[in-house]
């Protein structure tokens, strides 16, 4: 069974450095535009506690989460 780490908004703010995150996202889109990578479909859910889950679409049905 796959292990899941849940992060709330405070966790993300503490762990993520925005400048570095933007640099990585820009590079990912650049690589995607050059057809060097594929970005699989994702799903996102936000719970009542404002906790976000991002995963591959269909991962639940396949037993990954």
Residue 2 lies in a domain: no
As for how many domains the chain has, the answer is 1
Per the structure, the complete domain to which residue 21 belongs is given by: 7-56
Closest by Cα among 65, 45, 62, 41 to 54: 45
Residue 64 lies in a domain: no
Please indicate, yes or no, whether the overall pTM of this predicted structure exceeds 0.85. no
Model confidence at 59: pLDDT above 50: no
User: Per residue in 9-37, pLDDT tens?
Assistant: 899 889 999 999 999 999 999 999 999 98
Average pLDDT, the chain: 76
Residue 63 lies in a domain: no
Residue 43 lies in a domain: yes
Spatial CB neighbours of 56, under 8 Å, sequence gap ≥ 6: 40, 41, 42, 43, 64
């Amino acid at each position: 069974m796959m292990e899941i780490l849940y992060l709330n908004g405070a966790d993300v703010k503490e762990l993520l450095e925005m400048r570095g995150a933007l640099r990585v996202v820009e590079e990912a889109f650049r690589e995607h535009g050059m057809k060097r990578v594929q970005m699989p479909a994702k799903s996102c859910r936000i719970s009542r506690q404002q906790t976000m889950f991002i995963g591959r679409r269909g991962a639940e049905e396949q037993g990954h989460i």
